[in-house]
Structure 1
Amino acid sequence: MEPGSVDAEERIYRFGDFRLLPARQSLLRGDTPVRIGSRAIDLLRLLVERPGQLLSKAELISSAWPDTFVHENNLKVNIAALRRALGDTASDLPYIATVTGRGYRFVATVRVQQAAPGRTTPTEFPGAAAGMPPPAGIVGRDEDITRIAETLAWRRFLTIVGPAGVGKTTVALAAARHAASHQPDGVCFVDLAAIGDPQLVTVAIASAIGAGGNLKDILAGIVDALRGRRQLLILDNCEHVLRAASVVADHIRAALPDIAVLATSREPFRSRGETVYRLPPLSCPGSGEDIGHDQAMAFTAVQLFVARARAASGFRLTDANAPIVAGICRRLDGIPLAIELAAPRLRGYDAGTLLHLLDQSFDLLSYGPAEAPLRQQTLLATLDWSYRLLSEAEAAVLRFLSVFAGAFMLDDAIGVGRNLARPPEEIASCIEGLVAKSLLSSSFAGGMLQYRLLDATRSYAAERLRGAGEQRCACTAHATHLLMLFERAEAELQWRVHEEWTVAYGRLANDLRRALDWAFGAEGEPVLGVRLTACAIALWDEMSSVGEGSQRVRRALQSPALAEGGLAARMKLMTAHAWSLSYTERFAPGGEALWQESLRLAELAGDQDYQVRSALGLVVLQCFYGQHRETLKSLRRFQAIAGENDSSAVPAGERMRVMTEFFMGDVRGAHEELKRLVRRDDSTVRRSRLARFQFDWCVAIRTSLGVVQWVAGQPHEAAATVQAALDRATEIGHLVSHSTALVLAAIPVALWTGQIDVAERRLACLVANLRQCDIIIWEPAARLFEGMIQQERGDTEGVQRMQTALTDMMATHFLGRMPNFLCMLADAALRHGRLDIARESMATALDMVERNEERWCEPEVLRVRGILQWREGDARGGEASLLRAAKLAAQSGAMMFELRAALALASCWAAEGRTAEAHALLGPVCARFDAAADGRDVAQARQLLDRLGRSDRRNLHVGRTASGTRLRRSDA
C-alpha cells in the first residue's frame, strides 16, 4: 500500500495479535478490547504509522500533547502503560524499543489494511489464492517486504533471488499482502516446485488462474483468462524451469501490462523489464564481539532464533548465552530455514551444546516441520534441489570450491583448478553460473571481488566431494596452491611494506589452517605440510600469531616427513622454533643450542639471510639472559656475517651492541649513539621486515632510546620517545613489537616518573595483547607491573604480588634488567615496612650486578641499599652507599640515578638537621635538569631543595639577629 493511498482514519494497523483502529480510538487483541488511555492510543498510533523509525521525545510530546507543556516524565509514564498493555515488559522481541537519550522506535512488523464501511477487518488480502500458503510469522524482513512491495507497484515484474532457505517464498507472500491495494482482482499463486517438466509450466499457471481446459494454445488461453484483470501473479520456485517460466512471464507482461508478476528463484530470469531483488540472509553479529542481550537482539538472525526457540522450548536470551546464540546464527549464516530447523533443537540441548554440534556437522538440521514442503523439511533436501540443477562442470567446480575455508578470489579458484587440470576459462564461467544460481555469494573487499560459500553449502559440497572420491586430489591442489602463494610471499617480504603485505596474504590464514590440518592428517601429505609450514612462518610472524606459529612449527619438526621436506625447510623451521621459545616458554639454556643448530643449517644451505637471522637470534637470547660479555662476543660474529652478506642488517646489530654497553654501565655513550641511530632511521624509508628479527626496527630503536633517556635525566624526552614507539607499533598492527615496547620501556618509564594512571592504561593494553598472542614470557612482567601499581595506590598486597612475579621471571631465565626490577620491589617493600623482602631483594640484586656486570643500574641498587641501611640504624653505612651511588651515576652519565641518590641522602641529612650539607649536595644536581624535566623524582627534589633553602635563610637570619643582639649588649 502506498503512503497516502488510504485515509489515515480508515486504516487498521495489525502487529502481532493486535489491531489498532484509530477511527475508533481502540486497540484489540484478537477480538478483545485492550483497556488503554487516550494519550497512550495517540502515542501508539504515532509509532505504528512510522514503524522502524526513531521518533524523538520532543516529537512524541508535541504530537500527543499539542499546545500544552508537559514534563518528559508524562511521556515515560504513558510509554510504560502502553508496554504493559502490549505485554511488552519482559519480551525478548519487544514492540517498542528505547533509544537511550533520544526517543522510541516501533520495532515489530506492522501490516496496514483498509477498514471499508460495513465490512469487518479481513484476515487475508482480497483475491488470495485458495492454495496459497498461510501467513508465516515473519521476523526481520520488514525492510525487504516494504521495498519489494513498493518496487512491484511501479516496475510490475520482479524476481526475488537468493540462496536456498533464505525465505524467498515467505517474503514474496508477505510483499503480496503488503501490496494488496494495487491488486483489486487479487493474487494468483503458482508453486512450480512440483513441476518436473518445463512443458507443464503453462498448464500449472492455466490451472491456477482457472483458464478453460483442452486448449490448443495454453499460453493464449492464459492471456485471454487474465485480460481485463488487475492481478498479481506469483510464480514460486522457478529455478528448475527457468527458461519456460521466463517465456511465459515475458509474454504475459507484453500482452497484459496490468498483470504484475512476482517470481522467486535461485537465479534471475534475465528477462526484459525484469527487476531483480537479491534477498540477503538475516543479519548476524560479527565474530570476536563481546555481545550481550541488547546488542544481540539488534540482529535479525538472533531475533528469529530467539522467537522460534522460545516457542519450542521456552528459551530466553540472556547476557550470558547471547554470545553462544550469536555463534549459532553465524554458523548458520543467517539463513532463516537453517535457523528454523536449529532453534527447536533446544528442547534437547543447551545452547552451548547445540553450537558445538553444529560446528561438527549440520546433521541436526536433517528434519523439520511436517507441514513444510518436502524440499524444505531438511537442509540437505534444500541444497540437493539446487545441486541437481547444475551442469556437470558447475557441480565439479562447486565440489572443489568446498576446500576453501572462507572467502577466496577468482585467482585462488583458478590456481586450485589449474592443479586439477581444469582450464581457467571454464572455472571463471562456472563461478559466474554458481553466483547467478545463489550457491556462491560475491562481495567487494578492499576494492577486490571475492567469493564465499555459505557454511551449509560448503558442508554439503564437501560431502559431495568425498562421495565422488575427489577429496584427496582437491585438498592436494589447495595446499599446493597455498605453497606457491607463500613462496611468493616470502620473496615479497624483502621489499613490500608490512601493511600491503599483510592485506595481500593475511586473508589466507584460515585456508592455511585448513590445508595444514589436512596435510598432517590421516589422509594428507605430510611432506607438503612440512614445506607449507616453513613458507608460512612469515605470515605468523608478521601477524603476531606467536602461539599458533609455535604450535605449527613444532608439529612440522616432529613429523617423520621432516627430512623429505628439504634442507631449506628444516633451516626455516629450526630458526622459527628458536624464536618461538623466546616468547612462548622460557629463555632456557637449551635455546643457545637451538640457535647454533639453526646457524649450522643456514651455513650448510648457503643461505646468507638465515645466517644473519640466526646470528642475531643468539645475540638477543644472550642479552635476555643477562650474559653481556657473551653477547658482545656473539655480536662480533653477527657483525662479521652481516657486514659480509647483508649491510641492511647492520643497524640491528649496532642497537644490540649499544644496549649491551649500556647495560654494562656506559649510559652516556649509549645515549649519544642511540640518538644517532634514531636520526639515521628518520632519514631513511622504512620497510618493515618483522619476520626477520621478530621486532619492528623503528619500535626497537625508540624502545631502547626511551629507557636510556630516562636514565640519562631526560624524563620528558623519554616519555615522548616511548609514546612514539607505541604509536609506530599500533600503526603497523604488530602485537609482538607493541607488547615488547610496553614491557621494556613504556610501562617502566611511566612507573619511574610516577605516572600511575598512564602505567595502568598501558598495562591494560599489554594484558589485551597477551590474550591475542601467546607471548607467555611477558605474563610475569604484567603481574609485576600490576603489583607495582597496586602498591603505589596504597595496597600492601601489591608488594607480595611483585615478589611472586619476579620469582617467576627469574625462573624463565629472563635475567637482563633483573637487578633494576629487584630495586623496584625493594623500594616498594621499604615504603610498606616490609624490610624482610627488601633485604632479600637487595642481596639478590647486588649478586647479579657483580655476576652479570649489570652496571647501568648499580647506582640504583646502592641507593636502595643505602636507604635500607639507614632504616636499619646503620646511618654511616647508608651514607657511604648513597654517596657511592651518586658518584657512580655521575661517572656513567646516569643523571636520574644521581638525582635519586642525592635526593635520598639529602632527605636523610635534612632529617638530622644537616640542612646546609643537604642543600649543597642536592642543589648542583637539580641545577643540571632543564625546566622541561618532569616526573616524581625531579618534583620531589625541587620541593626539598626549596624547603632546604628556606631553612638556610631562616637559620642565617636567626644567626644574624643573635649576633647583633650580643654586639649591642657588649656595647652597653
Structure 2
Amino acid sequence: MIQIGQLDVFLENREVRSNGESLRIGSRAFDILEVLIRAGGALVSKDEIIRAVWPNVVVQENNLQVHIAALRKALAGDRDLIRTVPGRGYRLVAANPEPAVAREPMRPLRMAPAHGMPYCVSSLVGREATIAEIVGALDTTKVVTLVGAGGIGKTRIAIEVAAQIGSRFADGVVFVPFASVSDPRFALDALAAALGLPMPVGRLSLDDIASRVAGRHMLLLLDNCEHLIDEVAQIASAISEANEGLYVLATSREALRVPGELLYPVQPLDVPDEGGTAEDILAASAVQLFVDRARAADPRFPLDDRTLLVTGLICRRLDGIPLAVELAAARAAVLGVEVLAEHLDDHFRILAGGFRTALPRHQTLKAMLDWSYRLLDDTERALLRSLGVFMNGFSFDAAYHVIKERGFSCTEVLDALSGLVAKSLVVRESEEAATRYRLLEITRAYALKQLEDHGERKAAALAHATYFRAILSRAPTRLAAAKTTPWFMAFRHELGNLRAALDWAFAPDGDRAVGIALAAVAVPCLFDLSLVDECCERARAALDAMRAPEVAPVPAESRLPLLAAYGAALLFTQGPVPAVHEAWSEVLSLAVATNNAEFELRALWGLWSIRQYGGDAHAALQLARRFGALAQMADHPAFSLVAGRLESVALHYAGEPEAARERLGQLLCNYECPTDHWGIPGFRIEPGIVARATLARVLWTQGETSEALKTAQCALEAALCYGHDIVTCYVLVEGLVPVALLSGEFELAREGIALLRTRAKQGGFMVWLACSECYDQYLKSIAEPDPTRLPEFRAALDAVRQTGYLAQWTMLLAQYARALNECGRREEAEAVLDEALQHCAATGDRWFYLNLCRLGADLATRSEID
C-alpha cells in the first residue's frame, strides 16, 4: 500500500481507496498515477508519461491533462500533491514525508497484503502436489521459473509457495509485479520500488540495485515477466549471481533462459474422463475448483448427478485452465450449468467478469489472450492464427503446409512454432516417436477469431483440407501386403482434423470439390475404425454434393470408394433395405464399366450380404460362388479367404452342414491369424474369426454341442482382441448368442446379449440392436416364462422383420411358437410355425428346417393329447 494524502493506493490490485471506500478512476488515470509514484517524487516529463501509458499510440497532450485533472479531483483537498512543472511535466509530492515506497529503504516487504503481496481472497484448489514440488526445487535451485499458458494459475501458485517458505528467508519475500510495467525502461524502477529503495534523480542501474541487496537473504518473486523477458532475465541473472542468499521465483509464459534456471511447467487442472461416475467427476481438481467458486457465488449451487455431469463436460471443454474454470463457475452460478454448457462455444462473450481485483487482462479470456497475442512477432501471430484450423493436434508438417502459401519458409515456420511453444501458446505432445502439438480449446477459439478478422479463414481451411486429403491418399493400398495397423493408429489421431475439414468443405462457404475428394479417401477409413454411422453420414453428404450443378463430374476412382463405404455402412446401420441394394448395384455397374476387379468383388460381397442377411439362402449361395470365381481370377489370398467364408456361410444356411464344414475346414486349415490386426482396408469382416462363428453353428446342427460352445467362445475372444465392433457384433449375432440359446447355456447367452446390445448401440448398428432385443425376449420366454410378455416378444420380432434382417428368422419364430403353445395358444403357435416353414420354402433357408419339423410334430402330438 502507498499513502498519498488521504488516499491509499494498491498498485498490485490497481485500486484506490479513500477512508476505506474504493474510488473509481479510469485505467489510464491509474497508469499515470503509477508512473508518478514509481518516479519517487522526481519529475516525469509529459513525453515519458505518454510513452508509458499509451505505448505505440499517438495521443494529444490534452488527453494527459484530462486524466491529470481526474486524479486531482480524486485527491480533493490534497490535489496540490500533483504539481505541474510548466513546459516540462509533472511530479508527485507526498503529503506524508515518508511514503510507503521510501519509508524503510532496505527492509524488504513481508508477506502481508499491505506490503506488496497480492491478497488472495479465494482458496487454492488442486495444486498441493505442484506447490510441494516447487518448494522442494527451491531447496537446491536459486532460480525457478513457473511457465505456462495465460490463466493457468502461475501467480497464484507462486504466492502460495512464497507464503509457505517466507519464514526461511531472514529478509523475507519481495513481490515485484511487472504486469503493470508497459515500458521495459521502467523494469528497474518497479524492482526498486518493490525493494523499497529511494529513487535517484537520474536513471537506476542494475549494478546499483545489486549492490544494495548484497548480503541479504530473501526470495524475490518476479511476477508476469513475459513482456519484459530480456530485462527480467538480466535482473534475475545479475542479482542471483551477485548474492548467494538471494533466490528468484519467477512467473512467465516463457523461460528466462538464465544460468542455473529450473523450468517448472504449470499444468492445467485435472479434468474428468467421459463416462465417469459422479464420484469420479468430483475427484477432478478442475471440477472441485468450479464447484468451490460457484458455491462462493451461490451457496445453493447443486451437486446432483446431472449438474456434475455437465460440470465435467464444461471443465473438459475448458481444458482445466483455472481462469476459464473460475469465469465459467461465476457464470454458472447466475445462468445455471445447462445454459452455460449450451452457449460455451462463445467463450469470449460468456466467460467474462472475473474478480474486480484481478488484473484487467485476467477479467476476461479475450483480454488475457489479447495480452499474449500482442507480445508475438508478425510471423508468430500469422502462424498462431493459421493453427486455429486444427482440431486435436497437428504435426509440424501440417502446420507448415497451412501457412507456406503465404510465403513463409520452413525455417521461419519452425522458429515461429518454437516461439509459440516457448511462450506457452502451443502445447507440445510426444507420443512414441511422433511429436505433435495442439492449441488449448480457448486459444484455438481466439486464433480462429483472429483468422476470421484477418480474412484468412478460407485460405487456411482449404490448405488444411488439401493437406489431409494428401495424407489419407497415402493409406495402404487395398491389396497391399504392408502392415496397416500403424497407419490406422496414426489416422485415429487425425479424426478431429478430418471432421473439421469435411465440415468446412460441405458448408455453404466451403469447397465441395475438395470435400468430395477428401471424403473419397477418408470415408472408407471411418468404416474401418468402426465409425459406421459417421461413415454413412459423410458418404451421403459427398454423394449428394456430386449432384450439385456447380460440381464437375467426379471420376470413378472417387465415386467407387464412396459408394462402397456407403453401401456397407448402410447395411450395418439400417439392414438390407432397398437403398443398400441400389448402392451396391451402382458399384457393380461402375466397377465392371471401368474394369476394376477389386470393387467388382466388393460389390458382389455387398449383394451377397443383402441376400444372406435377408434370409435368401438360394440367391446368397449363387452370389458366393460368383464371388469365388472372380476371386480365383484375381489370384489374391485375402479375397480367396473371403470367398471361402461366403460360400461356407451360404452352404450352412442352405441346409448343407457337411459341405459347409468341409469348406470351413479348408479355409481354417490354410488360415494364419494375421499379425496385422487391421487386415485389408474396406473388408473389415476378418474371415478367420467370423468363419469360426459359422463353424460353431454348423457344429451345433450336427449335434456337437460342447464343441460348438467352445468354438463360439474362442471366436468371441478373437473378435474382442481384433478390436472392431462389426466383427464382435457379427460373432455375437451369428455365433455365440444363438448357439448358447439353442444349447440351454442361458447365463452365457445373457452375457452375450448384454455385450451385443452395448456394442450395437455404440456403433449405431440398428439391425443388430433390434436383434439383441429379440434374443432377449427369446431368453426370457425360456428362463422366465410369463404369458404377459408375449406381446413384447411379438413386437421384437416385428422390429427385426422391419429391418429386413431375417438370417435368424426361423429360429426366432420357432421359439415364439413354443412360447405361444405353452400358454395354451396352440392355433396361434401353428400359424407362426407355418410362417417359418413358408419362409424356408420361399428362400431355401433350411439350416433350422429339421427343428421346425420336430416342433410341428410336437404341436401335433399335443393336439392329439388335448
Q: TM-score, normalised by structure 1?
A: 0.75
Alignment match, 1:608: 597
CA displacement at 1:801 relative to structure 2 = 2.7
Question: Which residue of structure 2 lines up, in the alignment, with residue 333 of structure 1?
Answer: 319
In structure 1, what is the equivalent of residue 811 of structure 2? 820
2-structure distance, mates of 1:137, 1:688: 51
1:569 paired residue number: 558
Deviation at 1:170, TM superposition (A): 0.8
Q: How does 1:321-720 map to 2 (within 5 A)?
A: 321-418=307-404, 421-491=407-477, 494-497=480-483, 499-559=485-545, 560-561=547-548, 563-648=552-637, 649-682=639-672, 688-689=678-679, 691-720=681-710
Residue 262 (structure 2) pairs with residue 275 (structure 1): yes
SS across alignment from 2:305: coil
Report whether the alignment pairs 1:227 with 2:218: no
Paired AA for residue 850 in structure 1: A
CA spacing shift, 1:686–1:454, aligned 2, 3 Å: closer
Are the structure 2 counterparts of residues 497 and 662 from structure 1 closer, same or farther at C-alpha, using a change threshold of 3 Å? Answer: same
1:929 is matched with none
128-137 or 345-354, which deviates more: 128-137
Instruction: Give the drift of 1:522.
Output: 1.4
Q: For the residues of structure 1 that align with 2:171 and 2:562, how far apart are their CA atoms?
A: 74
Instruction: Label 1:125 to 1:792 Cα distance change in 2 as closer, same or farther (>3 A).
Output: farther
Mark the CA change 1:590 to 1:285 in structure 2 (over 3 Å): closer, same or farther: closer
Select the structure with the greater relative contact order (CA < 8 A; seq sep ≥ 6): 2
What's the offset of the Cα at 1:356?
1.4
- Provide the secondary structure at the position in 2 that maps to 1:193: coil
Q: Please tell me whether Structure 1 or Structure 2 has the larger radius of gyration of its CA atoms.
A: 1
Q: Unmatched 5+ residue regions in structure 2?
A: 1-108
* Displacement of 1:223: 1.6
In the TM superposition, what are the counterparts of 1:16-35 in structure 2 within 5 Å?
A: none
1:78 matched to which residue of 2? none
Matched residue, 1:726: 716
User: How many Å apart are 1:503 and its aligned residue?
Assistant: 0.8
Partner letter of residue 860 of structure 2?
Q
2:743 alignment partner AA: T
> d(CA) in 2 for partners of 1:421 and 1:699?
53
Note the alpha carbon deviations across 1:607-630, whole angstroms, 9 max, x for none.
221111112211121122222332
Displacement of 1:240 after TM fit? Answer: 0.6
Answering whether residue 852 of structure 2 is matched by residue 861 of structure 1, we say yes
Cα gap change, 1:777 to 1:468, in 2 (>3 Å): same
Q: Is the 8 A contact 1:786 1:798 kept in 2?
A: no
Amino acid aligned to 2:377: S
Give 1:777's aligned amino acid. V
**Shift of residue 696, structure 1, vs aligned partner:** 1.6
SS in structure 2 of the partner of residue 233 of structure 1: strand
Report the CA distance between 1:663 and its aligned residue: 1.9
User: Which residue of the partner structure matches residue 789 of structure 1?
Assistant: 779
CA separation of 1:646/1:532 partners in 2, compared to 1, >3 Å: closer, same or farther?
Answer: farther
Q: 1:843 to 1:140 in 2, by over 3 A?
A: same
Once the two structures are superposed, residues 327-368 of structure 1 have per-residue CA deviations (whole angstroms, 9 ceiling, x without a partner) of: 111111111111111111123322122111113543211332
Q: Please state if 1:747 is matched with 2:733.
A: no
Which amino acid letter does the alignment assign opposite residue 609 of structure 1? Answer: E
**Cα drift, residue 690 of structure 1:** 5.4
Aligned mates of 1:646, 1:359 — CA distance in 2: 54
Alignment partners' CA distance in 2, 1:593 and 1:521: 27
* Among 267, 287, 292, the residue aligned to 1:302: 287
Contact 2:466/2:514 (<8 A) preserved:
yes
Partner Cα separation in structure 2 for residue 828 and residue 433 of structure 1: 73
Paired residues in the alignment total 750
Q: Which residue of 1 aligns with 2:48?
A: none
Query: Alignment partner of 2:435: what SS?
Result: strand
- The superposition leaves residues 11-61 of structure 1 with CA deviations (integer Å, 9 ceiling, x where unpaired) of xxxxxxxxxxxxxxxxxxxxxxxxxxxxxxxxxxxxxxxxxxxxxxxxxxx
- Tell me, yes or no, if the aligned pair for 1:499 and 1:732 is still in contact at 8 Å: no
Q: Distance in 1 between matches of 2:258 and 2:344?
A: 39
Shift of 1:874: 6.5
Contact (CA 8 Å) 1:667, 1:708: kept in 2 or not? yes
- Render the CA deviation track for 1:39-98: whole Å, top value 9, x for unaligned: xxxxxxxxxxxxxxxxxxxxxxxxxxxxxxxxxxxxxxxxxxxxxxxxxxxxxxxxxxxx
* Counterpart residue identity of residue 566, structure 1: P
Deviations 1:794-828 (A, max 9, x none): 24244433322222222222233322221122233
For the 8 Å contact 1:153–1:179, the answer to whether it is kept is no
Match of 1:158 among 144, 148, 155: 144
CA distance in structure 1 between the aligned counterparts of 2:361 and 2:523, rounded to whole angstroms:
46
Change (3 A) 1:768 1:394: same
Shift of 1:127: 7.1
- How far residue 300 of structure 1 moved from its aligned partner, in angstroms, is 0.8
Write the distance in 2 (CA, Å) between the matches of 1:494 and 1:835. 58
Structure 2 residue aligned with 1:237: 224
Report the residue type matching 2:259 in the other structure. Answer: R
CA distance in 2, matches of 1:489, 1:513: 17
In the alignment, residue 133 of structure 1 is paired with which amino acid?
P
Identify the residue that residue 843 of structure 1 maps to in structure 2: 834
Is this contact kept in 2: 1:167–1:336, CA < 8 A? yes
Question: For each residue in 1:640-660, what CA deviation from the matched residue of structure 2 results, as whole angstroms up to 9, or x when unmatched?
Answer: 332222433122122222222
- In 2, the alpha carbon distance for the partners of 1:129 and 1:156 equals 27
Give the aligned partner of residue 944 of structure 1: none
> Aligned equivalents of 1:229 and 1:527: distance in 2?
70
Match of residue 800, structure 1, among 788, 791, 794: 791
Q: Which amino acid counterpart does residue 245 of structure 1 have in structure 2?
A: V
Counterpart residue type for residue 752 of structure 1: L
CA contact (8 A) 1:128 1:186 kept: no
One-letter amino acid of the structure 2 residue matched with residue 711 of structure 1: T
Could you tell me which amino acid in structure 2 is paired with residue 743 of structure 1? V
1:179 aligned counterpart, secondary structure: helix
In 1, Cα distance between equivalents of 2:810 and 2:330:
62
User: Secondary structure of 2:306's partner?
Assistant: coil
Coordinate RMSD, CA, aligned: 2.1
Contact 2:476-2:482 within 8 A present in 1 as well = no
User: 1:360, 1:863 → 2: CA distance?
Assistant: 67
Query: Following the alignment from structure 2 to structure 1, what is the Cα–Cα distance between the partners of residues 749 and 836?
Result: 24
| Secondary structure of 1:856's aligned partner | coil
Alignment correspondent of 2:751: 761
1:365·1:378 contact (CA, 8 Å) conserved in 2? yes
Give the distance between the partners of 1:311 and 1:493, measured in 2 at CA.
Answer: 62
Kept in 2: contact 1:785–1:802 (CA 8 A): no
**TM-superposition CA deviations, 1:374-395 (whole Å, max 9, x none):** 1111111111111111111111
Q: In the TM superposition, what is the alpha-carbon distance from 1:541 to its structure 2 partner? A: 1.4
In the other structure, the counterpart of 1:137 is 123
Q: Distance in 2 between matches of 1:336 and 1:810?
A: 54
CA distance in 2, matches of 1:591, 1:465: 42
The separation in 2 between residues aligned to 1:228 and 1:575, in whole angstroms, is 79
Partner SS, residue 175 of structure 2: strand
Q: Output one character per residue of 1:256-289: Cα deviation in whole Å (capped at 9) or x when no partner.
A: 1111111110001010011111111111012x22
Task: Report the residue type matching 1:531 in the other structure.
Answer: A
Q: Distance in 1 between matches of 2:349 and 2:847?
A: 65
The answer (yes or no) to whether the contact 1:212–1:221 under 8 Å persists in 2 is no
How far off is 1:871 after superposition? 1.4
> How far apart in 1 are the matches of 2:824 and 2:428?
67
Is 1:873 equivalent to 2:864 in the alignment?
yes
Alpha-carbon distance, 1:490 to partner:
4.7
Q: Which amino acid aligns with 1:247?
A: Q
Describe how 1:229-268 pairs up with structure 2 within 5 A: 229-268=216-255
Change (3 A) 1:746 1:869: same
What are structure 1's unaligned runs of at least 5 residues? 1-123, 876-972
Who is 2:94 aligned against?
none
Distance in 2 (CA, whole Å) between partners of 1:710 and 1:756 is: 16
CA deviations on 1:561-593 (whole Å, 9 max, x unpaired) are: 565332222222222222222112231245333
Q: Find the aligned partners of 1:137 and 1:685 in 2 and give their Cα distance.
A: 54
8 Å contact from structure 1 (residues 203, 218) kept in 2: no
